Each structure stands twice: as structure tokens, then as C-alpha cells.
Chains A and B, each alone.
Chain A
Amino acid sequence: MYSFTVRNRVYRFKDLKTLLAKASPYRTGDVLAGVCAETYEERVAAQIALADVPLKNFLNEAVIPYEKDEVTRLIIDSHDVAAFGLISSFTVGEFRDWLLGDEIDSALLESITPGITPEMVAAVSKLMRNQDLITVAKKCEVITRFRNTIGLKGHFSTRLQPNHPTDDPKGIAASIVDGLLYGSGDACIGINPATDSPAAVLNLLNLIDTLRQQFDIPTQSCVLSHITTTLDLVNQGAPVDLCFQSIGGTEQTNTSFGVSLSLLDEAYDATLSLKRGIVGQNVMYFETGQGSSLSANAHHGADQQTCEVRAYAIARRYKPLLVNTVVGFIGPEYLYDGKQIIRAALEDHFCGKLLGLPMGVDVCYTNHAEADQDDMDNLLTLLGVAGCNFIMGIPGSDDIMLNYQSTSFHDALYLRKTLGLKPAPEFEQWLIKQGIINGEGDLQPVNSSHKLLSGIL
């Protein structure tokens, strides 16, 4: 039982799960789930009560029972007591102040990462303003490698997302070439296939692999099929660079996605065994997003942000190359407007980074959300300042297969120019060699005889 009194009114919160939910900044998904604070005062009361909870309590009081949920078991069983030592005497509020302190740097944050649980991170994020989330996230440096190096300070990458409604190879290749000529694609070239059939996925894998080898592009490919499809293809020796899967923060959510820890273990080992990386072997690509547990009716009464951060415990087990929170895709019943989408994205980015993950964000919205390009520009800029590892690159922001709006090739250029950020170093060298950018990182006029243009026609 937790409580706090405001002007003689006593607010009681029966357990940690309830306290976390009531302390969460307002969003429609928590109202839909019936776990949201009823008043503004109750929310702040919950936050003040949460600030006084010792971090140690999080090791003794599970938000979702240990016996019922393999994600909880993973969180508790993999907790590193030694790494926790430095912060073990803190309350959540003291942890927040400590994180913001001048002397706390990337190396120190990395050292405590195995000792913090998702629920601790979710809790501390609920006490933080957007500016706090940005300040601490910016301290973290999470570097991953496959054929290039992603996440270095001062660098900023993009996933080139050349989707096509019928997976037409030429249509996809056209979008890839267009993106490469804007300097997009260093995080990966990643296609969401319109169908999950193994044959179709294999065609797309071969398409990108051929293009990559033909032009010697230092990047990695991914076709975002279901993990079972990818696993079969890996076992057939298909050119799988990255193994993709959507994951959620509860066992039941993952069951609804058709995935489990044992399946992830198997796919991870299989993909690693291909040894296709050159500068590193981070082979996994995960996508997440607040609201997925509620959507699968698998949230156990926990708020959607806490569920989201629990998914990061799964992700970190597999040392992924990329983790992408697809923040605005789920719709207004979970994140209603630009304000909620922006807050959720900054939370996810901060929480993922603090847990040691290479966080990227799909800065996006659907047409029934109260959001537009201006909101996305705001979020994009905030994420650039916060040191986000990567965003999506989509022709003109318009994904014609998934029917939502994300970030354009131009958006990434804007951010690189405005904040002085560079692509992954290996990819940057390739772009210079191809005459796509100059040594200062400025985009050059497209030469009509560029071999990328003749390559696919």
C-alpha cells in the first residue's frame, strides 16, 4: 500500500502497479484500460508517492506476477546485484536527481544498466519532464555494429523503408535508389512485406542483397517478416542479415504476436550462425510501441508505458542492432494527439537508452490522430537533440503500403544539417565515394549518369 496526502485528502494506491499507472502522464490508452489517474491532483499525488519508493522495492514487488509471466521471470532472473550496488539505496526520486547530475556520464550509466529493471526505469521516467528525458538520454551512448557502426555520438542514422503495396521488385528498388541518393539507409534497408509468404520474403531479401553487393553498400538489409518465416529462411541459407520481430512487455502480448523467449533464442542463435556481419554481430531488429499489450488484452492492469519498457528487457537479452518504437502507428485510442505521441516517444527513447538499447523512433502518425507534419517536425527535432540512434526514411513521408505518415528522406537531411550530425562513418565514406555527399556532408546534385540510376532500369 502506498499513499500520499494532499490538503487532508488521502490518496491510497494498493500496489506498485496501481501507483505506476496513476503516476503516468495522461494518455488515452490508460483511460481506455481504466488504469489512469482520475484527477490531475491524483496524478501528482501518485508521482510524489512514487518518488519516495525505494528502488529495492521493485525487486520484491512484481508488477506482473513472476509465476504467470516469462517476461517478469527474465527481468528478475537476469538482474545483476553487483551493478545495482551503486544505486541500491536510492528512492525513485533520488534516482531521478542522480541521473541528472553533472558527474553522471555515459560510462557510469552503462555500468548500472544490468542492475536496473524496466519497472525502475518506467517509474523514474514518470517523474521526469520532457527536458529531463532528453538530458539523460543524451548522456547515453549505445553503439552497435554489423556492416557499419551505429549510435556514435554526433552521428544519426536512418532505416530506408521502401515499402510497396504489392511488393513489386522494381517499385521497391526505385524507392531504395531514391533513398540512397538522399543519403538514407545506414541503419538498414528494411522492407515491410505486404505478404508473409516465405517465397515472397526470399525474393525481397535477394533483391536487396544483390543491390547491396552490386554497389558495395556498407549497410544491412532486413525484411520484416514474422520471426518463424525468417527462421525458416535462415535455415535454408537465405541472405538474412537481421532477424526482425515485434515484441511486447508481457508473455501474453508476445503469445498474441506468435513469439516466445525460446523462439527468440532459437532465431537469435540461427541468425548469428550465418556470421554475415563485418564490423560486428548485432543481428536482431526489434519493434515495439506503447499500447500493444492493451490491444492484445494482455496488460494485466499495468499502464501502457510500463508494459512498453518491460519489452526492452526482452530486447536487451539479444544485443540488437536496432530497436525501434513505432510510436504513433497504433492510433488515437492509445496516443490521442501530437502532445501524447511526443511524450511517449521521448519516454521510450529515454527508457530504452537507459536500459542499454540502440533506440530509434518511427516518428509517425495515422490520419485519425490529432497530429500533423508540424508535430512530427517537433518530435524529430527533440529526438535529434536527445541523441536518437535512427529514424525511418520514407519517400515523401508517405508509406503507401502501411498507410501512415512517417519521416521522409528530407527530414533526416534537415536534422543532420541543423544539428551537425553525420551518417554512420562507413556509410558516410561510401556516400562521399559515390558523389552523393561532399566532405562536409552536403548533398550534391544528382548526376543523371549516376550508376545507381542505370542499375535498376
Chain B
Amino acid sequence: MKNEIEIPQQLSALREFTAARIAIGRTGNSIPLKQSMEFKLAHAHTRDAVYSTLDIDGLFTRLKVFGFPVLHLHSQAANRHKYLKRPDLGRLLDDDYKYQLNGNIAKPDIAIIIADGLSAEAVNGNAYSLLKILIPKLLDAKLTIGPICLVEQGRVAIGDDIASGLKARFSILLIGERPGLSAADSMGAYLTYNPQPGLTDESRNCISNIRKHGLSYKHAADKIFYLVSESFRRKLSGVGLKDNAGLLGES
């Protein structure tokens, strides 16, 4: 676009201090076209992310190199429409898929679950890259890992249903976070010790904003590994563990 609205340099200099949309100028009382379109484009990315779907084939291909079984599961929310309106259904595993867990009860130390959440794009793009660093660290620490579960239309708490079905001692759930205008592909990692249906958020630790231009895979893997080790040592996760997380230093 060619239109440019002039903004005094003293005002635009303030942009150095914040990523907020300041000093964007005005035409009349309205936001200039350029900034209006930038906003629209960012919002379009978030909308596309909400309706993006898990790349099941691609993830299968990449994840099987780790040598664990990969399961394809689905929540009780039949589609995205239902998922958005009924968060309760997104937290429960569909009965038709439960048999898959039965064949895989290996009582592993760790269950790894990948769910689309509010941005499948986020896990499509980030889950494998993180696991490539994280899984070797877990194995080096002599932790056993169960099947990797891919879940469509899943919310965070579905990890409890799945991990307890696998009789795992700990769950690492990777999920697409609610897309924002600054990033539509942020992945979160939720860590739960002794996962059981009915647990709530205070029982988990969360690491947020994992993506190429956010929290790096290396740093995220370090943080997750630290929290996993501490959880096994202290036999808990969540609020009780958070207090000491300062040991990790700033991200």
C-alpha cells in the first residue's frame, strides 16, 4: 500500500519502548488504512489458526522416528463448532477411541500427549521440534515414555483422561494456545504429576509461548525437564512446585 500518514518523529520514537500499537497516526479520527489492514491481517491469522486442523499424517511420519507407538485419538467434541461451545466435551476422550489405550498400558513414567487446542497450527509447527530435544533428555534420565497420543478437538484436561488410562505417572501435554494478534502459533506445555480425571489447573505447571520466535525449543525443553525432575523428586506438580521455579532463571 502506498498511503502513508505522517507521524512526528518524537511520537514514533516512543515505539522503541513497547510493542503496543502506539503512534499509528490518524486520518480524521480514524485509524490509517495501513494500520487498519495490518490489524485485520493479524486477526485473520488468529481466525485461521482457530480453525486449523492437526496434520495427522505429517505428525505420524515425524513422530514415529522416536520409536514409540503413535495413537490417534479424539475428544467428545465432534467438531470445532461443538468444541468452542462445549469446553466440557473437549476435556473427555471419546469412548470409541478408548480401546486404543487398552492395548498400550505400559505404565510408563511419562505420557506425551499432543492436542490441537485453539491452534492446531501451533502444534503442527512446534511439537516435533521440541520433542526432538526433550525426549533424549528424558531417556537419558532413565524415564520411560509411553505412546505419543495425538488428540483432535482436545482441551488441556483431556490429558488426565488419557494419561490415567495409560497408567502413566506423569503427563506432558503439548497444546495450541489461544491465538493472539502478535502470535497465532504459540504452543503451551502442561505438566501434571499423577494425572487423574477431575484435576484442575492448580495441579499443573504450564510453560507458555513455545514457538520459533518465542520461547526457544531448547529453553522450553530445559524448563520442562527441570520441572519433570522436580515433580518426580517432590511427588507433586502445580502451585506447590511453582515457588521454586525461579531457579530456572529468566527466559
Q: Which residues of A contact B (CB under 8 A)?
A: 28, 31-32, 162-165, 168, 170-175, 177-178, 181-182, 332-333, 336, 366-368, 372-373, 394-398, 400, 403, 405, 408, 410, 413-414, 417, 443, 446-450, 453-454, 456-457
A448 with B26: CB separation less than 8 A? no
B11 with A448: CB separation less than 8 A? yes
B20 with A162: CB separation less than 8 A? yes
Q: In whole Å, how far is B54's beta carbon from the nearest beta carbon of chain A?
A: 17
Q: In whole Å, how far is A54's beta carbon from the nearest beta carbon of chain B?
A: 36
Cα–Cα, bound, A396→B44 (Å): 16
Cβ of B85 within 8 Å of any chain A Cβ, yes or no, is: yes
Cα–Cα, bound, A398→B42 (Å): 10
Smallest CB-CB A-B distances: 10 pairs: A396-B21, A171-B18, A413-B29, A367-B46, A178-B22, A174-B14, A448-B8, A403-B180, A170-B17, A395-B20
A367 with B11: CB separation less than 8 A? no
**Can you list 9 pairs linking A and B with CB atoms under 8 Å apart?**
A32-B85, A171-B20, A174-B20, A175-B20, A373-B43, A396-B39, A398-B181, A414-B30, A448-B11
Cα–Cα, bound, A332→B77 (Å): 15
Cβ of B53 within 8 Å of any chain A Cβ, yes or no, is: no
Given the complex, which residues of B lie within 8 Å of A449, measured CB to CB?
Answer: 10
Cβ of B47 within 8 Å of any chain A Cβ, yes or no, is: yes
Query: Contact string, B173-186, partner A, CB cutoff 8 A, digits 1/0?
Result: 00000111110100
Given the complex, which residues of A lie within 8 Å of B49, measured CB to CB?
Answer: 367
A397 with B39: CB separation less than 8 A? yes
A367 with B17: CB separation less than 8 A? no
Q: Contacts A366-B178, A367-B180 given: A332-B31 contact, CB under 8 Å?
A: no
A396 with B88: CB separation less than 8 A? no
Q: Please pick, from A367, A396, A417, the residue contacting B20 in the complex, using a CB distance under 8 A.
A: A396
Given the complex, which residues of A lie within 8 Å of B39, measured CB to CB?
Answer: 373, 396-398
A443 with B26: CB separation less than 8 A? yes
Cβ of B84 within 8 Å of any chain A Cβ, yes or no, is: yes
Given the complex, which residues of A lie within 8 Å of B84, measured CB to CB?
Answer: 332-333, 336, 368
A367 with B19: CB separation less than 8 A? no
Q: In whole Å, how far is B213's beta carbon from the nearest beta carbon of chain A?
A: 14
Q: Contacts A410-B30, A453-B11 given: A31-B18 contact, CB under 8 Å?
A: no
B18 with A164: CB separation less than 8 A? yes
Chain B: which residue is nearest A162 at the CB level? B20
A333 with B20: CB separation less than 8 A? no
Cβ of B157 within 8 Å of any chain A Cβ, yes or no, is: no
Chain A: which residue is nearest B39 at the CB level? A396
**Count of chain B residues with Cβ under 8 Å from any Cβ of A?**
41
Given the complex, which residues of A lie within 8 Å of B21, measured CB to CB?
Answer: 395-398, 408
Chain A: which residue is nearest B50 at the CB level? A368
Q: Please pick, from A366, A394, A410, the residue contacting B29 in the complex, using a CB distance under 8 A.
A: A410
Cα–Cα, bound, A396→B23 (Å): 9
A168 with B11: CB separation less than 8 A? no
Cα–Cα, bound, A446→B147 (Å): 61
B17 with A173: CB separation less than 8 A? yes
A446 with B11: CB separation less than 8 A? yes
B31 with A410: CB separation less than 8 A? yes
Q: Which of B18, B46, B86 has the most CB of A within 10 A?
A: B18
Given the complex, which residues of B lie within 8 Å of A394, measured CB to CB?
Answer: 20
Q: Contacts A178-B22, A396-B20 given: A454-B178 contact, CB under 8 Å?
A: no
Given the complex, which residues of A lie within 8 Å of B8, measured CB to CB?
Answer: 446-448, 453
Chain B: which residue is nearest A172 at the CB level? B18
Given the complex, which residues of B lie within 8 Å of A164, measured CB to CB?
Answer: 18, 20
Cβ of B87 within 8 Å of any chain A Cβ, yes or no, is: yes
Cβ of B62 within 8 Å of any chain A Cβ, yes or no, is: no
Q: In whole Å, how far is A151's beta carbon from the nearest beta carbon of chain B?
A: 23
Chain B: which residue is nearest A372 at the CB level? B43
Cβ of B118 within 8 Å of any chain A Cβ, yes or no, is: yes
Given the complex, which residues of B lie within 8 Å of A32, measured CB to CB?
Answer: 85-88
Query: Contact string, B207-241, partner A, CB cutoff 8 A, digits 1/0?
Result: 00000000000000000000000000000000000
Q: Please pick, from A162, A333, A395, A448, the residue contacting B24 in the complex, using a CB distance under 8 A.
A: A395
Given the complex, which residues of A lie within 8 Å of B87, measured CB to CB?
Answer: 32, 333
Cα–Cα, bound, A31→B84 (Å): 13
A448 with B178: CB separation less than 8 A? no
Chain A: which residue is nearest B118 at the CB level? A368
Chain B: which residue is nearest A365 at the CB level? B43
Cβ of B9 within 8 Å of any chain A Cβ, yes or no, is: yes
Cβ of B15 within 8 Å of any chain A Cβ, yes or no, is: yes
Cα–Cα, bound, A333→B82 (Å): 10
Cα–Cα, bound, A170→B87 (Å): 39
Cβ of B203 within 8 Å of any chain A Cβ, yes or no, is: no
Given the complex, which residues of A lie within 8 Å of B104, measured CB to CB?
Answer: none
Given the complex, which residues of B lie within 8 Å of A454, measured CB to CB?
Answer: 10
Known: A175-B22, A367-B180, A395-B18. 6 other contacts (CB 8 A): A32-B87, A175-B18, A368-B178, A368-B179, A400-B18, A443-B26
A443 with B29: CB separation less than 8 A? yes
B10 with A448: CB separation less than 8 A? yes
Q: Which of B22, B26, B49, B87 has the most CB of A within 10 A?
A: B22
B1-37 interface with A by 8 A CB criterion: 7-11, 13-15, 17-24, 26, 29-31, 35
Cα–Cα, bound, A149→B21 (Å): 29
Given the complex, which residues of B lie within 8 Å of A408, measured CB to CB?
Answer: 21, 31
A400 with B179: CB separation less than 8 A? no
Given the complex, which residues of A lie within 8 Å of B42, measured CB to CB?
Answer: 398
Given the complex, which residues of B lie within 8 Å of A170, measured CB to CB?
Answer: 17-18
Chain A: which residue is nearest B51 at the CB level? A368
Given the complex, which residues of B lie within 8 Å of A443, measured CB to CB?
Answer: 26, 29
Cα–Cα, bound, A28→B84 (Å): 10
Given the complex, which residues of A lie within 8 Å of B7, measured CB to CB?
Answer: 446
Chain A: which residue is nearest B47 at the CB level? A367
Given the complex, which residues of B lie within 8 Å of A163, measured CB to CB?
Answer: 20
Given the complex, which residues of A lie within 8 Å of B179, measured CB to CB?
Answer: 367-368
A400 with B10: CB separation less than 8 A? no
Given the complex, which residues of A lie within 8 Å of B46, measured CB to CB?
Answer: 367
Cα–Cα, bound, A454→B8 (Å): 13
Query: Contact string, B78-102, partner A, CB cutoff 8 A, digits 1/0?
Result: 0000001111100000000000000
Given the complex, which residues of B lie within 8 Å of A336, measured CB to CB?
Answer: 84-85
